[in-house]
Structures are given as structure tokens and as C-alpha cells.
């Protein structure tokens, strides 16, 4: 009996060991999660076509200026009295009034059509090519129209004798005012001599006008003094 009981205990022991060996195996350690891939940095933005074209235009213009094929643009602030010191203030004012008269678009420029109307009004109509040639001769910024500075440049060139006698610009300078035409101006020199005489006459008129104003002012002061004296005398008799 003892041997049978011992045999059963051994068998039970074997079965327990077999059961433990066939049980679930310990889980393998989890694999580490893959690290997220970094997105590649975007490539540097290439310059746009418009930027390339603008830079190319600037470089081309700079080369033209260096080679004398183009004139540098002037400062936007324009003072006619300092840039054209040979012109009197009155003459510049007169030319400014004329410029504004034909600046129908009120944009500060006289374009081709406005110049065409001006020359027709002055009695010296020009062809289309003639008008373009007139603008081109003083067009410093190559915009195809006349600024006020370029308009004054016409008369500067006329005074300096830099215009052809039969050119459209010379005709504009000669016929810019009716009184100039009636005086029979011949050439730029006579034109500005006539203007100087007109300015001298105007100065004489201004002097006479000022003398009259001073005389009226003196009479007004004397009248006020007489009134003050009368009031003082009246107050004396009233007391």
C-alpha cells in the first residue's frame, strides 16, 4: 500500500510539473514605437518671374545711365524757382497757368492729345510724328508725356538757343502768349527780351498801384485821427 501511495504521489507530482511547463509563456517585451519621420524642410523659394523682370529692368536702366543712353530720374520734389533761377516768379506763374489750362485730365501731365489741342489752339498744328518728336526732345523720364518741369524745360532750351527755329517746341515757345506773337518775336532771344519788357511794364504798373494803395491808406489814417480829435473835443464840451 505504501508503495502504491508513493507511486500516486509521484505521478501527481509529474503531472503538476508538466502542467506548469506547458502553461502560457511570458509575453515578449513590446517593440518600441517607431519614431515619427521628420518632414523635409521646404526648398528655398525661387524668385518670381516678375521680380526677375523688375531686377533686369533696373540693371538695364543703370547700364543705360552709365553709358549715357538714359538720364537719371530726378527727385520727386520739384521746385521750379530753384531749378530755373533764370525765370522770374511771375513768368513761372504764367507758364504754370498755361500748363494747367491744357492739362485737361488734371493729372499733372500734358499727354499727346492734350499737346495736339494746345498746338492747334496756338495756331501751329503738328502731325502725330511731330507731336511725338516734341515730347521726346524734353521727355526726361521717357513716359511719353510732359510734366511741368519738362514743360519749363522747353522755354529753358528756347532761351539757351538749343531749339531748331522751325521745330514744334520753338513754335510753342513763340506762340505761348498772344502779346508775344503780336510783338513779332523772332527766336528765343527776342522772345525772352520781350518777356523782360513785359515784366518791366508790369513792375511799373504794380508800383503805381502800390502808390495808390498807400495814398488811400494815408487818407484813411488821417480820417480816423480827425474822428478821434472830434470825439475828444465833444467829450470836453460835454463835461
DSSP code per residue over 27-80: PPPPPPPPPPPPPPPPPPPPPPHHHHHHHHHHHHHHHHHHHTSSPPPPPS---H
Q: What are phi and psi of 232, to 5 degrees?
A: -65, -40
Residue 146 DSSP class? E
List the chain pLDDT tens, one digit each, 239 residues.
Answer: 556 776 777 778 777 776 665 554 544 455 555 555 555 555 555 556 666 777 777 777 777 766 666 555 555 588 999 999 988 899 899 999 999 999 999 999 999 999 999 999 999 999 999 999 999 999 999 999 999 999 999 999 998 889 998 899 999 988 886 333 333 333 445 555 555 565 565 566 677 777 788 888 888 888 888 887 777 776 766 66
pLDDT (0 to 100) of residue 210: 79
pLDDT at 34: 56
pLDDT at residue 197, rounded to an integer? 62
pLDDT at 134: 95
Amino acid at each position: 500500500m505504501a508503495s502504491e501511495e508513493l507511486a500516486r504521489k509521484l505521478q501527481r507530482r509529474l503531472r503538476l510539473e508538466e502542467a506548469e511547463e506547458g502553461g502560457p509563456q511570458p509575453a515578449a517585451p513590446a517593440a518600441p514605437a517607431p519614431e515619427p519621420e521628420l518632414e523635409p524642410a521646404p526648398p528655398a523659394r525661387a524668385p518670381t518671374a516678375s521680380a526677375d523682370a523688375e531686377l533686369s529692368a533696373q540693371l538695364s536702366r543703370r547700364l543705360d545711365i552709365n553709358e549715357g543712353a538714359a538720364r537719371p530720374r530726378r527727385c520727386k520734389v520739384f521746385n521750379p524757382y530753384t531749378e530755373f533761377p533764370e525765370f522770374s516768379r511771375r513768368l513761372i506763374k504764367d507758364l504754370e497757368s498755361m500748363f494747367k489750362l491744357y492739362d485737361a485730365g488734371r493729372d499733372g501731365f500734358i499727354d499727346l492729345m492734350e499737346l495736339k489741342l494746345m498746338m492747334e489752339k496756338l495756331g501751329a498744328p503738328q502731325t502725330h510724328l511731330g507731336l511725338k518728336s516734341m515730347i521726346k526732345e524734353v521727355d526726361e523720364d521717357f513716359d511719353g508725356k510732359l510734366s511741368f518741369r519738362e514743360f519749363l524745360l522747353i522755354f529753358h532750351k528756347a532761351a539757351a538757343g538749343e531749339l531748331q527755329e522751325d521745330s514744334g517746341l520753338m513754335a510753342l515757345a513763340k506762340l505761348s502768349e498772344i502779346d508775344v506773337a503780336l510783338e513779332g518775336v523772332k527766336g528765343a532771344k527776342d522772345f525772352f527780351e520781350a518777356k523782360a519788357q513785359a515784366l518791366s511794364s508790369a513792375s511799373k504798373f504794380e508800383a503805381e498801384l502800390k502808390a495808390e494803395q498807400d495814398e488811400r491808406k494815408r487818407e484813411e489814417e488821417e480820417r480816423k485821427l480827425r474822428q478821434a480829435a472830434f470825439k475828444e473835443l465833444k467829450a470836453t464840451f460835454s463835461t
